[in-house]
Structure 1
């Protein structure tokens, strides 16, 4: 029986500004039943506090301390591999704040030689110049880190370009593949288990994307549960070589399944 859950955000609890209707009651039920859970999101644009505030507005009760973003994971990862180095970030407030709070020196990338690490996340105000500076720095020898590999972001408008799309552009331009910290990497999964004190064999990862959520769980040694509420359709799952441990159409079905398991 699972005692703790790592739960995705975009496409699992909401799609952009569109609430997935049974999601708030599912999290409330987990809390009432004494299960532990944490939000594990590839979204690098918001701070944990901003994520918690959005969830509160949508009817959830989740604290900032229960949220682990790819930006936080990236800042932690940099401490182990690139401590004290000058960083050129491509991203929004969530990434900038995480790097600043971790004590990194952020540079504007105007001089490629000043950049020791390029960190690429989702940036919805990205410009050609921002990408050009990142590419020139990578070509000059800077390490290349991506917060996550999401190529598409589920929203109420449909699927929009994700952080992985921007990292992919830099990779194609430079011929250098980034180190990916967020899902599907096991890096973020191992960090989350450690941060929240969850045991690997007692934890289940829940998400809507085979290529990020489910693959991350597999890479991190966790059982996985795929929801057909976001990126991956049932038809795609049936033909994919990536196989989740379980799959369901809704969180209501997941709750009923967990109740049957006792």
Structure 2
């Protein structure tokens, strides 16, 4: 995986909020959480519209820097979830904001990327160039599906010359029509190998994006919801937020069991349909002692969950916490009969 340069180091999994303050903002990943391609994931519309009904702000945080916030918002709205561009945070916006803060309005930025990144840079009052002859102060790199060999060579020359190198996200691959295809992280890796340098990366799992989105919402106790431990959950944890792994995408309960401390979620959600239960406080964090703890134990190095409670969120969270504590003491814990996914 492409390293995230200049990002805050991951922090240990935090104790959940004890002050009694309510969750006042929910940040969502998109693919695998809200939708699969053009279709909404079961439970997503109900869960997010519940937040709207409760006037709880939401923000959709996406590493995709090729699309503008307007395009992303339109896509979500077509699913039956009314969304404005202000509710979308892209890695391109975060990168543009960081560059504007550092170099000031009017600074000249060498663009390696598509429309989404160009629009974000210009929205921050930055000037965009595609030639090094103009004397840019920094390189802004996002995925460019039309990149040429000559542009790659130019980027290598600029990085080697010492121009600051910033990138939107470290996602190494994406799902294409017939296979996995290169993402921005693949191009970062190539440029890093060629130049011996590393960029400042603002997208997940860097905390920059989470902090940017939560600040826009004015949140005091944000929750990050995602389907990937190594981007969504790690990013939320690194920002010091509570996190929820939703089981409708890439990673499942067994993945969470074996996750290192900085990738462990605070909560488990079968789908976004379970959001009301979590938000209203009837869900318990995975680190709390719950009634579910009586339904799970470790026997001969394996988790054993009472069959009558295998679909219980609280029991699964208690089982994970029990296993994590044992693993942190150096013990090996196998999944046993712990389910991979549960349903709401």
One fold, TM greater than 0.5?
yes
Unmatched runs of 5 consecutive residues or more in structure 1: none
Establish whether residue 33 from structure 1 lines up as the match of residue 25 from structure 2. no
1:260 Cα deviation (Å)? 5.9
The 3-state SS of whatever aligns with 1:119 is strand
Tell me the C-alpha RMSD between the 2 structures: 2.3
Matched residue, 2:293:
none
Residues in 2 aligned to 1:239 and 1:197: alpha-carbon distance in whole angstroms: 34
Contact 1:209 1:231 in 2 (8 A): yes
Q: 1:126 to 1:92 in 2, by over 3 A?
A: same
Equivalent residue for 1:138, pick from 139, 149, 159: 159
CA deviations on 1:180-207 (whole Å, 9 max, x unpaired) are: 11211122222222222111xx210111
1:76 Cα deviation (Å)? 0.7
Equivalent residue for 1:5, pick from 26, 43, 52: 26
Q: 1:157 to 1:6 in 2, by over 3 A?
A: farther
Establish whether residue 245 from structure 1 lines up as the match of residue 266 from structure 2. yes
Q: 1:89 to 1:157 in 2, by over 3 A?
A: same
Establish whether residue 213 from structure 1 lines up as the match of residue 235 from structure 2. no
Matched residue, 2:130:
108
Residues in 2 aligned to 1:28 and 1:225: alpha-carbon distance in whole angstroms: 18
Matched residue, 1:229:
248
Pairing 1:1-262 to 2, within 5 Å after superposition: 1-83=22-104, 84-109=106-131, 111=133, 114-153=135-174, 159-199=180-220, 202-241=221-260, 242-259=263-280, 261=282
Q: So what's the TM-score if we normalise by structure 1?
A: 0.89
Residues in 2 aligned to 1:99 and 1:134: alpha-carbon distance in whole angstroms: 18
Contact 1:109 1:134 in 2 (8 A): no
Q: 1:157 to 1:250 in 2, by over 3 A?
A: farther
1:244 Cα deviation (Å)? 1.1
The 3-state SS of whatever aligns with 1:81 is helix
1:134 Cα deviation (Å)? 1.3
Residues in 1 aligned to 2:259 and 2:197: alpha-carbon distance in whole angstroms: 27
Residues in 2 aligned to 1:252 and 1:158: alpha-carbon distance in whole angstroms: 31
Q: 1:189 to 1:120 in 2, by over 3 A?
A: same
Residues in 2 aligned to 1:14 and 1:130: alpha-carbon distance in whole angstroms: 34
Higher-Rg structure is 2
Unmatched runs of 5 consecutive residues or more in structure 2: 1-21, 284-344
1:218 Cα deviation (Å)? 1.2
Q: So what's the TM-score if we normalise by structure 2?
A: 0.69
Contact 1:227 1:248 in 2 (8 A): yes
Contact 1:115 1:137 in 2 (8 A): no
